[in-house]
Amino acid sequence: MQTLTQSPLDPGFVQNPYPFYDRVRQGGPFVMWHEYKMPVSARAAVVTMALRDRRLGREAPPEMARPAPAHLEAFYAVERHSMLELEAPRHTRLRKLVAKAFTSARIAALAPEIAALTHRLIDAMPEGGGDLLEHVAKPLPVIVIARLLGVPESDAPQLLAWSNAMVQMYQARREDSHEREAANAAQEFTDYLDALIARRRKAPGEDLLSVLIAAEEDGSHLSRDELISTVILLLNAGHEATVHSLGNGVKTLIEQDISPIWLTPERIDGTLEEILRFDPPLHLFTRWLYEDVEFQGQVMRAGSQVGLLLAGANRDPAGWVEPEVFDPARPIRTNFAFGAGAHFCIGAPLARLEMRIALPILFERLPALSLTRKPRYADLYHFHGLERLDLRY
């Protein structure tokens, strides 16, 4: 297996990781990424198989499991009950219970609120120009989630602060200080939700948290720990992905000088999928192998962990014609921005709805949108999103 070297903290890589993904793809079904000491793939066919094959999963095999460091116990207490980190049968049970509450009808019913909130946030932007991330992309999804869960909107900034601290655990630049911030945030978030769940049990409402508490599958309900982990996952994963997708999308639409016609109701879905394909919010997702598995002639051994370069697979020439070109007119084909298989992002419909509503409103309300400075991506890998997006309008 070929070995490639590329620091995920290198400024050039942070700004444009796609040339490295091309090297990975050309190197074989999998190559060894030296800095991660992990085989990775950027081939669409391999990534599709790895995401869908049940011989691979998120949960570490028992022989590879490691005890949580004492200073991170609060963080891993949440992770132990997260759907994202579990496999069948626990994952199946949790996913079914959450799906009963997080329905397509419940999500679709949010459309008028999302539109009104988008208008409100645009109204509050500084006159003449400002940072779109700070004023629209960050508050929009966290306020939507807060309302959905029945959390006071005034608490949204605190939820956002906890979320930002916790997702540092998934970033390549993770240091001891980040770990302690994540653990503290996990404990505070847990305490907050513990009290909120207790109130909802006594006085349920129409909010998602009340519905999650009441959800039942074969006589089973979500436990207190599962409820807390599920709510935190919905906020952290959903918020992070939507912020980056909105920011990256607006940047791309402006830089590519895309006509507003591509944001009309007839064309918005194709444009949205091309945004997610072209510059997705999450670039690396890992899987454990539970058996030996062959990928395009290359055998990966049981007990190993592999990295799936979602953004690299999204630009595989075997899957898309001229994949380096942003083309909202290309035929819609499933991309990897939200994963695939059993762990396909359960919040993807909400993220898509927020983007489908917010992007047309933004460009209709602010037709003269332009960049005031060249956008820079933040040092967030495995995530991929901007530091800020300064615009004039």
pLDDT at 189: 97
Tell me what pLDDT residue 237 has: 83
The Cα-based distances of 90 to 169, 252, 385 in angstroms read: 23, 39, 32
| Structure confidence by residue, pLDDT tens digits, 227-285 | 999 999 998 887 889 999 999 999 999 999 999 999 999 999 999 999 999 999 999 99
pLDDT band at 34 (very low <50, low <70, confident <90, very high): very high
Q: Superfamily assignment of 3-392 in CATH?
A: Cytochrome P450 (1.10.630.10)
Residues with Cβ < 8 Å from 207, sequence gap 6 or more?
148, 149, 150, 200
Confidence of residue 168 (pLDDT cuts 50, 70, 90): very high
Mean pLDDT of the chain: 96
Question: Are residues 7 and 36 in contact, defined by beta-carbon separation less than 8 angstroms?
Answer: no
For 144, counting Cβ atoms within 10 Å of its Cβ (0-12 exposed, 13-18 middle, 19+ buried), the class is buried
Return d(Cα 17, Cα 10) in angstroms, integer. Answer: 10
Burial code (b: 16+ CB inside 10 Å, e: under 16) for 18-31 equals bebbbebbebbbbb
CA–CA dist 352, 175 (Å, integer): 32
Residue 64 has pLDDT above 90, yes or no: no
3-class DSSP assignment, residue 47: helix
CA dist 206 and 43 (Å) reads 44
- Dump the DSSP string for 318-330: TTSSSTTS--TTS
Largest CA distance in the chain: 59
Spans of all domains in the chain? 3-392
Beta bridge partners of 217: 220
